[in-house]
Amino acid sequence: MNAKYAAAAIAAAVLYLGWGYAAFAQSPTASAPAAPGAPSSQNGPTPNGGPSEAPTYAVLRITSVEVVRSAHAPYLDVVLARGVVSSNGWEEVELVPLTRGIPPDGVLQLVLVARPPQRAADASGYEPVEAIFPLARPSLYKGVNVHGATNGLIVAAMPGYAESKLVADDCGVCVGKTLVPRDRPLPTGRTDLIREDQLPPVTRIAGPDSGLMGMESNPNRLTLIVNQDNLIVSAVWD
């Protein structure tokens, strides 16, 4: 195991045991957290009556999942999940278990979550994030499945590795380009165009006469404002 992740895994294991995550991941009576993409339910009032915590959201996309096995005590399997978030400013990245008890297929279900910025963020390109989740050996699980807001990756046997290639445009440089409807091909030789079906899965497009019904916050949703010529004049994750 890489020395960096070995040290991090040992530290995380102490927290893991101290906070009861092991019991949560393996106890049939533990209650599961919110489904992938949904805000965390653990955002009620603080004990001193202060404001509630900002909700967590599943990160936009999982790019890789690796399970590494320690060769020396403490014997651990360490899940390392990498992904991308829609913009900079996301914090407190962590892997949260969805599994209750021992699943029939032996695969531990996790979701990679983080706290997004409190305000809408300009589209400036995806930001990479990562988190680890240690499992004591011998493990109750034979594999692990990590979910993001728009995809999931499974490592069917541990240790192991799986990865996903990003296919959606991050819209980091799409302002000033012309949006081409999904049913039309891009003309060759032009770099000032972007096709609708190349955009992230959750994208809404508003023209000059369009409304924006449903202004509830969703930091995994890209909103594009286009003018009468389909020129993109604004791109925000909101």
**What pTM was estimated for this model as a whole?**
0.78
Same domain, 225 and 188: yes
Give 3-state DSSP helix, strand, coil % of the chain, rounded to 5: 10, 35, 55
In which domain, by residue range, is 204 found? 178-237
In a domain, 173, yes or no: no
Tokens of 16: 């893991």
Among the three residues 109, 137, 163, which one is the final residue of a domain in this structure?
163
Distances in Å between the Cα of 61 and the Cα atoms of 31, 43, 148, 166, 221 are 25, 23, 5, 8, 12
Distances in Å between the Cα of 83 and the Cα atoms of 107, 130, 161, 163, 195 are 20, 6, 14, 10, 24
Q: Coil, helix or strand for 58?
A: strand
In a domain, 120, yes or no: yes
Among the three residues 163, 197, 222, which one is the final residue of a domain in this structure?
163
pLDDT of residue 1: 53
Tokens of 97: 């278990």
Average pLDDT of adjacent 10-residue blocks, the chain of 238 residues = 50 39 34 40 39 81 97 93 96 96 95 95 96 93 97 97 91 95 84 92 94 85 96 96
Amino acid letter at 92? E
